[in-house]
Amino acid sequence: MKVAIIGSTGQLGSDILDVFGEKALPLSHDEIEVKDIASCRRVLKNVDAVINCAAYVKVDDSEGHPEEAFMVNAVGARNVALVCNENQMKNVYISTDFVFDGNKKTPYQEDDPPNPINIYGLSKYAGEILTRNYCRSFYIIRSASLFGRKGARGKGGNFVEWMIKKASNNEIIKVVDDIVMSPTYTRDAAKMIQNIMERKLPYGIYHVTNQGCCSWLEFAKEIFEFLDIDAKLFPIKSDALNRKAKRPKFSALESTKLTSFGLRMRNWEDALEDYLIEKGYYIKTCHAEGGLDLCCLE
Ligand X SMILES: NC(=O)c1ccc[n+]([C@@H]2O[C@H](COP(=O)([O-])OP(=O)(O)OC[C@H]3O[C@@H](n4cnc5c(N)ncnc54)[C@H](OP(=O)(O)O)[C@@H]3O)[C@@H](O)[C@H]2O)c1
Among 9, 87, 115, 137, binds ligand X (CB under 6 A): 9
Q: Which is nearer to ligand X, 152 or 223 (CB)?
A: 152
The single residue of 120, 185, 275, 281 carrying the catalytic annotation is 120
Q: How far is the CB of 134 from ligand X (least distance, A)?
A: 17
12 binds ligand X (CB under 6 A): yes
Site for ligand X in 19-78 (CB under 6 A): 29, 32-35, 53-55, 57, 72, 76
- Contact between 94 and ligand X by CB under 6 A: the answer reads yes
User: Catalytic annotation on 120?
Assistant: yes
Shortest gap between Cβ of 169 and ligand X (angstroms)? Answer: 23
User: Is residue 96 a contact point for ligand X (CB under 6 A)?
Assistant: yes
Q: Which stretch binds ligand X (CB under 6 A): 77-85, 130-138, 139-147, 263-271?
A: 139-147
Nearer to ligand X, 212 or 294 (CB): 212
The upper half-sphere exposure of residue 62, i.e. CA atoms within 13 Å in the direction of its Cβ, equals: 25
**Least distance in angstroms from the C-beta of 29 to ligand X:** 4
Min dist CB 56 to ligand X, Å, is: 6
The residue within the footprint of ligand X, chosen from 13, 102, 116, 121 (CB under 6 A), is 13
Report whether 266 contacts 210 (CB < 8 A): yes
Number of neighbours of residue 154 by Cβ within 10 angstroms:
16
Interaction mask 141-160, ligand X, x per CB under 6 A: --xxxx-----xxx------
Pick 68 or 86: Cβ nearer ligand X = 68
Least distance between ligand X and beta carbon 144 (Å): 5
Q: How far is CA 176 from CA 216, 241, 259, 285, in A?
A: 6, 9, 31, 33
Minimum distance, C-beta of residue 191 to ligand X, in the bound complex (Å): 15
**7 is a site residue for ligand X (CB under 6 A):** yes
The phi, psi pair for 234, rounded to 5°, reads -130, 150
Residue 186 CA to residue 190 CA, distance in Å, equals: 6
For ligand X, the closer CB: 145 or 166:
145
102 binding ligand X? (CB under 6 A)? no
- Evaluated on CA atoms 11, 13, 14, 15, the torsion sign reads positive
For ligand X, the binding residues (CB under 6 A) are 6-7, 9-13, 29, 32-35, 53-55, 57, 72, 76, 94, 96, 124, 143-146, 152-154
Task: Give the catalytic positions in this structure.
Answer: 120
